[in-house]
Amino acid sequence: MTEALSRVLRDESHRPAARRPADEIANLPSVGESAAVLAQALS
């Protein structure tokens, strides 16, 4: 039961690829780059 539930929860095939948070997060700039963004936003 636990394994079956675990498999269902891991299965993201029903979700549109563009809406997978994990994929989206992987493509975001690292938080380390926020200082540069901050400086740029203020200039």
Partner 1 sequence: MRVLFATTADVGHFGPVVPFARACAAAGHDVGVCAPVSFAGAVERAGFRHLPVGEPEPAEIGSIMARVPELSMEEANRVVVRDVSAGVDARAALPGVEAAVREFKPDVVAREMAEFASFVVARRWEVPQVEIAVGPAETDVAACALLDDALARLGCPDDAELLTRPLLTSVPESLDATDGLPARPIHRFRYEPPPATARGLPEWPDSDAPTTPRRPT
Q: Does 14 bind partner 1 (CB under 8 A)?
A: no
Q: How far apart are CA 6 and CA 4, in angstroms?
A: 5
Q: Does 41 bind partner 1 (CB under 8 A)?
A: yes
Cα–Cα distances in angstroms (integers) from residue 39 to residues 7, 14, 22, 29, 42, in the given order: 44, 40, 28, 15, 5
Task: Answer yes or no whether residue 12 interacts with partner 1 by CB under 8 A.
Answer: no
Span 18-37, contacts to partner 1 by CB under 8 A:
18-21, 24-26, 28-37
Smallest separation (angstroms) from partner 1 to the CB of 5: 10
